[in-house]
Chains A and B, each alone.
With several copies, the nearest count.
Chain A
């Protein structure tokens, strides 16, 4: 049976949301899946919030857009407010930081708060928070094996960041192990 997973990644410009989504797409493609990646584009990226949708599917993908994704990574408060309520029942929401603690958790999805910034800082690079969250996402959704993303990192990290590959892989792993291997919420 066809399985299709839609993932929204969202955060401030500079938090690497778009790149995280692209990494998922690369990893999915290299695994032989159908994938699409689409950003919200334009000036609001500057300063404002950027988000993208990655779809990974066993079958030719119809709409590259989705209203209610299977999973979302939110890297800041406005993203949490916007996309938290949209995740499909049974889906996964990765909250990548200490913001929005007053927000009312949903019981019909699995919400995972990851101290991504702290983990990234611990790895010596604040910009790795997005990759930490990716690790958590993969662990929680099993949409792709962790190794697929590691390969994608190895293949698609921009040349000038190549030296950060080990740190990236470590970030991924730490994000993943952060997620307890529990059953998915109903």
Chain B
């Protein structure tokens, strides 16, 4: 199979179809719309269900319905639309049914703009709905990876009967890259035993998220927590670059991750010992790997297209064993490689005093004349 030039959004759509996605429900929103539009012709072409919902609330509850029927089903949206899905996602999560959602994140809060952003990390990873819950969250950094993670999303959703959110920032949705598309998988025809397919020759199935007594709901929550613990144990994925001898470890995902990579190349060319950990799963988070790195590295630099959200998970992993610094852009602004390189260089020079003596964390702020930006360890 040769490579083709794919737009991220369309690649995700085609990848979903090839992974056997049987139904798509969605609502237009930039910068996600090409995904829906692609589905609108491609799903009928392969005899599957495409329906444009009346809203994101409608869409996620249609997903819920089709998921209850034991179908591979997905929706996609962008930040404000995803916010509207919080209740529905909480229901889906509570019901142990598999579902896949793609959030092509844009600048917020509010209506914001349509430029790429990563400011829905908390919403996805900590979970913006009510109740104790974390979706599995995947974050590709290229079109090829988006294709692979889309297939993985369906597999994980099904394996764990769980909600999977794939977060792209707008630029991965919009960019074109050469990528290889996997073969078309056959749609799985037998339905899971729990699916709502009519009580033919079996006792009725009920899918519900109400458990009126606290004993029952607590037991159910313990089951959900067990599932999450299992997921944390088995499904951590990340990519490493130049970590072997790194004094300074950058942590960045998605587009920020590949921009960081450019900056690191520049830094390595100058002989600076810098590496990158790029989480591919945001939940489960590569906490252990970071904890190990915390013993080796002298400092961490988290780069996000947000005010610093993943930053907290990095700090939770590092637990004060090394300073964790932050560089972020917001509101649809994308950091440029040279910008990050400057920060990296500054940090590396400040690291010369070999022992980190503290743990500073600057609030998210782009460097400005009056603000020298992130400084060395202090």
Contact = CB atoms under 8 A, between A and B. Distances in A.
A touching B, CB within 8 angstroms: yes
Interface of A: 22, 25-26, 29, 34-39, 41-44, 61-68
Contact of A65 (B31, B176, B260, B336): B336
A63 B338 CA distance: 10
Contacts of B3: 29
Given A62-B258, A64-B255, 5 more contacts: A43-B114, A62-B265, A63-B337, A65-B337, A67-B338
B178 A64 contact: no
A43 B106 CA distance: 14
Given A35-B178, A37-B175, A38-B175, A65 B170 contact: no
A109 to B, nearest CB: 17
Interface string B155-185: 0000000000000001100111110000000
Given A29-B178, A41-B31, A42-B31, A65 B5 contact: no
Nearest to B334: A65
24 contacts: A22-B176, A26-B5, A29-B5, A36-B175, A36-B177, A37-B5, A37-B175, A37-B176, A37-B177, A38-B175, A42-B30, A42-B114, A62-B263, A62-B265, A63-B258, A63-B259, A63-B337, A64-B171, A64-B175, A65-B259, A65-B336, A65-B337, A66-B336, A67-B338
B171 A65 contact: yes
Nearest to B3: A29
Contacts of B31: 41-42
A39 to B, nearest CB: 6
B40 interface: no
Contacts of B338: 67-68
B280 to A, nearest CB: 16
B261 interface: yes
Nearest to B34: A41
B134 to A, nearest CB: 27
Contacts of A67: 336, 338-339
Contacts of A36: 175-177
Contacts of B170: 41
A58 B328 CA distance: 29
Most buried by B among A22, A29, A37, A64: A64
Given A29-B3, A35-B178, A36-B175, A63 B114 contact: no
B262 interface: yes
Contacts of B339: 67
Contacts of B212: 42-44
Interface size class for chain B? Answer: 20 to 34
Contacts of B5: 22, 25-26, 29, 35, 37
A58 to B, nearest CB: 13
Nearest to B338: A67
Nearest to A62: B262
A61 B172 CA distance: 13
Contacts of A29: 3, 5, 178
A29 B260 CA distance: 23
A42 to B, nearest CB: 4
Would you list the 9 A-B pairs with minimal beta carbon distance, nearest first? A62-B262, A62-B261, A63-B259, A38-B175, A67-B336, A37-B176, A42-B114, A63-B262, A29-B178
Nearest to B179: A29
A62 B178 contact: no
Most buried by B among A36, A37, A41, A43: A41
A64 B257 CA distance: 11
Nearest to B33: A41
A26 B3 CA distance: 11
Contacts of B259: 62-63, 65
Interface in B56-114: 113-114
A157 to B, nearest CB: 14
B350 to A, nearest CB: 24
B171 A38 contact: yes
B253 to A, nearest CB: 14
A37 B177 CA distance: 7
Nearest to A35: B178
Nearest to A37: B176
Contacts of B255: 63-64
B114 A41 contact: yes
A34 B178 CA distance: 8
Contacts of B115: 42
Nearest to A33: B178
Contacts of B258: 61-64
Given A25-B5, A61-B258, A62-B261, A41 B30 contact: yes
Given A41-B170, A43-B212, A66 B337 contact: yes
A62 B334 CA distance: 13
A29 B5 CA distance: 8
Contacts of B178: 29, 34-35
Most buried by B among A29, A34, A36, A38: A38
Most buried by B among A26, A38, A62, A65: A62
